[in-house]
């Protein structure tokens, strides 16, 4: 695993007041969900169900699919490793820059893989493609129609679409409904980001039942713990009331990005999500990160280690108005 990927709060000594490096929803886990999880604490004395199958029916009900089209995992990351293991004899392509775990999974299972740009997807000869939509770290996105055209044009290619951040945009809709039409489609989702439960690790795979059966044959038992299962049940039974207001979050992001764009020495990059890249025109991302930690107890994501990014970049995720203003003041001071 790549150090510095994602939230590296665990590597920081001392207190962090504002964490811009993590893409989870900044207002935190809904209190009612925390309360529900706490009610289940005594259940850690027993084993969870081996494959968290009780969540399959709830996922199927939400997306109007069959329960055998779902597989719940220890975060979305376990899903990517299972997929890489399943296709270990195949040739892979990864649309970059993007989440490092796709590449790490390919390395572990010794896949022949290559990093490609968004424009190169239609010309790849890979057996399967990892594609994050909307993408991490830059918030770029393909429309549902653009993706379906790809599935139609390349029916022999398996497309693994990571929708971990689909709820952090109001510009793109999920392609899970297309699973009914395309057997070359595997969708990976996460409950971690939307409901701010990264410590529980809960993700899932949605695909044709045959693909799920193959992945299930490789999955170790009990990878999803009992508290994660209980959280998943409560989430699916109360999804609409627990989910945050995406248009409101995007509006906050627009204001934040506009304030950042007024600063000298930075270029705010286009994004369809609440997280986005900022290019530093004449400064070091590493030095800025260290400055903000020491002087302001602020943590940002140094994005220079994303394969495919050229230059000095940081990634920010919209936080509270107070936190956003504190970061802007810190940037002004540093610049």
Q: What is the pLDDT of residues 25-64, one digit of tens each?
A: 999 999 999 999 999 999 999 999 999 999 999 999 999 9
The rounded distance, in Å, linking the Cα atoms of 298 and 334 is 13
Position 5 confidence tier, pLDDT thresholds 50, 70, 90: very low
Residues 6+ apart with CB under 8 A from 57: 67
Residue 6 has pLDDT above 80, yes or no: no
Same fold, 9-27+244-334 and 31-242: no
Find the mean pLDDT for residues 4-20.
Answer: 70
Closest-CA residue to 20 (of 326, 309, 272, 319): 319
pLDDT given at position 335: 84
Residue 302 zone, left/alpha/beta (φ > 0; ψ -120 to 50; rest):
beta
Where along the chain do its domains lie? 9-27+244-334, 31-242
Closest-CA residue to 188 (of 271, 331, 82): 82
Find the mean pLDDT for residues 164-186.
Answer: 96
Find the mean pLDDT for residues 267-278.
Answer: 98
Task: Give whole-number Cα distances, 98 to 102, 156, 214, 216, in Å.
Answer: 8, 24, 26, 26
Residue 187 has pLDDT above 70, yes or no: yes
pLDDT tens, residue by residue, 305-330: 999 899 999 999 999 999 999 999 99
Task: Give whole-number Cα distances, 309 to 7, 58, 117, 232, 277, in Å.
Answer: 19, 39, 11, 35, 10
pLDDT given at position 258: 98
Percent of the chain with pLDDT over 70: 96
pLDDT given at position 15: 84
CATH of domain 31-242: 3.40.640.10
Position 3 confidence tier, pLDDT thresholds 50, 70, 90: very low
Q: Quick one: fold of 9-27+244-334?
A: 3.90.1150
Is-contact 323 277, C-beta < 8 A?
Answer: no
């Amino acid at each position: 695993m790549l150090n510095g990927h994602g939230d590296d709060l665990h590597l920081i000594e001392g207190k962090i007041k504002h964490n811009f490096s993590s893409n989870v929803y900044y207002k935190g886990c809904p209190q009612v969900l925390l309360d529900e999880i706490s009610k289940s604490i005594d259940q850690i004395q027993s084993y969870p169900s081996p494959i968290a199958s009780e969540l399959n029916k709830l996922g199927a009900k939400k997306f109007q699919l069959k329960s055998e089209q779902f597989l719940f995992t220890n975060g979305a990351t376990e899903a990517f490793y299972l997929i890489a293991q399943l296709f270990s004899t195949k040739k892979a392509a990864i649309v970059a820059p993007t989440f490092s775990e796709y590449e790490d999974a390919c390395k572990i299972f010794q896949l022949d893989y290559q990093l490609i740009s968004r424009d190169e997807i239609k010309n790849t000869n890979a057996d399967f493609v990892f594609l994050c939509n909307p993408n991490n770290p830059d918030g770029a996105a393909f429309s549902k129609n653009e993706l379906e055209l790809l599935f139609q044009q390349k029916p022999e290619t398996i497309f693994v679409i990571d929708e971990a951040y689909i709820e952090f945009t109001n510009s793109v809709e999920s392609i899970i409904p297309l699973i009914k039409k395309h057997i070359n489609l595997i969708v990976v989702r996460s409950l971690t980001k939307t409901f701010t439960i990264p410590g529980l690790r809960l993700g899932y795979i949605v695909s044709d039942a045959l693909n799920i059966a193959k992945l299930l044959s490789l999955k170790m038992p009990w990878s999803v713990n009992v508290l994660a299962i209980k959280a998943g049940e409560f989430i699916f039974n109360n999804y609409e009331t627990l989910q945050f207001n995406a248009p409101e979050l995007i509006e906050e992001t627009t204001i934040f990005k506009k304030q950042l764009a007024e600063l000298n020495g930075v270029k705010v990059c286009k994004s369809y999500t609440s997280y986005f890249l900022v290019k530093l025109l004449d400064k070091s991302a590493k030095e800025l990160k260290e400055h903000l930690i020491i002087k302001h107890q602020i943590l940002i994501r140094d994005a220079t280690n994303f394969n495919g990014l050229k230059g000095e970049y940081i990634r920010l995720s919209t936080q509270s108005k107070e936190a956003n203003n504190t970061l802007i003041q810190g940037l002004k001071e540093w610049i």
